[in-house]
Structure 1
């Protein structure tokens, strides 16, 4: 296995990078193109099909337009039509004041992504996404992530600093020429004899949660994950996982399908009412007795890639372990044993 990366060309930078959060943004515009092979429907039907959200709730914060014409809920939309949603300015959620730097050179920036901060604009986060804040802090408009982590997932996140090298790096993830290791705390006693999770998954298998991925017997996307180690606690198991494919929500969907959803994961909890309640009320205290933790216990512990310039095999390892994220919840975790990088 590759050793943690050290380079003579490392750029001098503070261990922690200050982030200047935006309290209130100036609004945002979303463009939606109606599918050419779809059929005529109402605006309300279109938005609920695409997002799973109630259109009436979106209208409380903004308005839909076709060109300069405002659209009502029952407005008819047709194939190929472009719809624009203009959301009024809003107060964004707070984000950490700084982010830890794991590595920086002329080509790469590797950071410790905090849980609860989206990589790119999402939901109520727009200006306060990690990409926006890092671009501003470094004054680098070409800074771009080469892989993705969910908003509640913490850990190693790699950015390309040069547009000319971005494609080379992203193709490594698409071709599987990378290695990622995650820590996940899951409900129940995970069978240590299980060494691999595999199956086919497809989005939209739940009638109640449109964005959720579920197992299918045919079609869908192949998902394969190696289980490197299992440690048992009283109510949960701590897993070290190596995904061999890189699908959206792969670990969350696979573990939920195996009967061991990730602790704190609202969308893939065995009771779908948990996620629906969260969407409606956004009150974690209503759900903590079912979730046990306020955010999903998933951590990207290490990522190994090929450097775009030196061609060295580089392993970047997190400075923290998953239990470090939840210092007040030691009783939920098994006795932690760190794997060697």
Structure 2
């Protein structure tokens, strides 16, 4: 069960939770925090303690003199970073008392992370609908466009989250890939591998010596001289699964800076978005028992050129 935050959502942004060690070379929790975030001016961090903006599980104020070991977790609000502008809109495809389904554009993260806080689909939508309870039921990579489903209210959230946990949601993606010099692999085909990832890792790791834990059905929509338009049916949901699976059979996605080769970091190029799109979501509604199907209104620009 998730730990309930003692601070409310503020301006669409939830508080950050930080685990604090019980022992160590720090006299106070504030000492640990200033050491942990040494890239930030310590007076800026200490001022948050002085303003009462750092709290414990019970909502009690953690001060700059609270000793180490007094709390296992603290909560605070991140300072909004200087964020690059992402001039693309989140478009609502469906909205009812339980679900909000939207089209997320390329380059916009689903949730806050890295250098993006308010420039995320979650924060934008919480502000637009004035609903601090909005929570993503699944996520898309920042570079991937297409359908994302959000829970509108806590009472029904678990039922929809269970759909994804139980692999009861049929997901369909599209991608535009390169055609290898040696020619296309035979399609349709099922790609299986064992993929793992660690927190903060940039790419998934493929383990050739382990039993597969990720599976994708790859079908051709149209194959041209140099590019191919593909339909993808992931039967699991591992990090970067589609990108890694296509790269593994020689079909690198156009605009992909992570697979097959990890390229140097560069600014987002609106002329070269990753050509990967979450197209469809299908499932049986756990509350009504009715079939549900959602389709994106977005397209891949390179698909028309195949």
TM-score with structure 2 setting the length? 0.72
Distance verdict in 2 for CA 1:149–1:283, change over 3 Å: closer
Alignment CA distance shift 1:194-1:228 (3 Å): closer
Q: Does 1:108 align with 2:99?
A: yes
SS in 2 for 1:137: helix
Structure 1 residue 191 corresponds to structure 2 residue 185: yes
Q: Show the 5 A alignment for 1:144-163.
A: 144-163=135-154
Which residue number corresponds to residue 124 of structure 2? 133
CA distance in 2, matches of 1:108, 1:266: 33
User: How do residues 247-286 of structure 1 correspond to structure 2 at under 5 angstroms?
Assistant: 247-270=238-261, 272=262, 274=263, 277-278=264-265, 282-283=266-267
The reply on whether 1:31 has 2:18 as its aligned counterpart is yes
Q: 1:313 aligned to 2:287?
A: no
How far is the alpha carbon of 1:115 from its aligned partner?
A: 1.1
**Quick one: distance in 1 between partners of 2:20 and 2:255?**
34
Q: Tell me, which stretches of 5 or more residues in structure 1 are unaligned?
A: 1-21, 41-54, 70-80, 335-341
Whether the 8 Å CA contact 1:118–1:130 is kept in 2: the answer is yes
Measured against aligned partners, the alpha-carbon deviations of 1:55-88 in whole angstroms (never above 9, x if no partner) come to 99x85556699x988xxxxxxxxxxx97999975
Matched-pair contact (CA < 8 Å) for 1:305–1:314: yes
Residue aligned with 2:194, SS? strand
- 2: CA distance between counterparts of 1:235 and 1:123? 35
Task: Report deviation, 1:98.
Answer: 3.8
Q: Select the residue among 236, 239, 243 that pairs with 2:230.
A: 239
The offset of 1:309, in angstroms, is 2.7
Give, in angstroms, the shift of residue 112 of structure 1. 1.0
* Unmatched tracts of structure 2, length 5 or more: 1-10, 25-34, 47-61, 65-71
Cα offset, 1:194, TM superposition: 4.2
Q: In structure 1, how many angstroms separate the alpha carbons of the residues matched to 2:298 and 2:268?
A: 25
Q: Kindly tell me: are residues 294 and 61 of structure 1, through their superposed partners in 2, closer, same or farther at Cα, counting changes over 3 Å?
A: farther
Aligned counterparts of 1:251 and 1:159: Cα–Cα separation in 2: 22
How far, CA to CA, are the matches of 1:83 and 1:296 in structure 2? 37
1:295 corresponds in structure 2 to 273
Q: 2:169 aligns with which of 163, 178, 181?
A: 178
2:204/2:240 contact within 8 Å kept: yes
Contact 1:62 1:87 in 2 (8 A): no
Return closer, same or farther for 1:284/1:313 CA change in 2, 3 Å cut-off: closer
User: What is the total number of aligned residue pairs between the two structures?
Assistant: 263
State whether structure 2 residue 146 is matched by structure 1 residue 168. Answer: no
- Which of the two has greater strand per residue? 1
CA contact (8 A) 1:215 1:257 kept: no
Asked if the contact 1:61/1:88 (under 8 Å) is kept, the reply is no
Match of 1:337 in 2: none
Aligned partners of 1:311, 1:125: CA distance in 2, in Å? 37
**Is the contact between residue 214 and residue 257 of structure 1 (CA under 8 Å) also seen in structure 2?**
no
Q: Deviations over 1:126-172 (max 9, x none)?
A: 12211111111111121111111111111111111121111111111
Look up the SS of the partner of 1:149 in the other structure. Answer: coil
Tell me how large the CA RMSD over aligned residues is. 3.8
Q: Distance in 2 between matches of 1:110 and 1:170?
A: 14
Q: Which residue of 1 aligns with 2:194?
A: 200
Distance 1:82 1:221 in 2: 36
Change (3 A) 1:85 1:309: closer
Distance change >3 Å, CA 59–CA 93, structure 1 → 2: farther
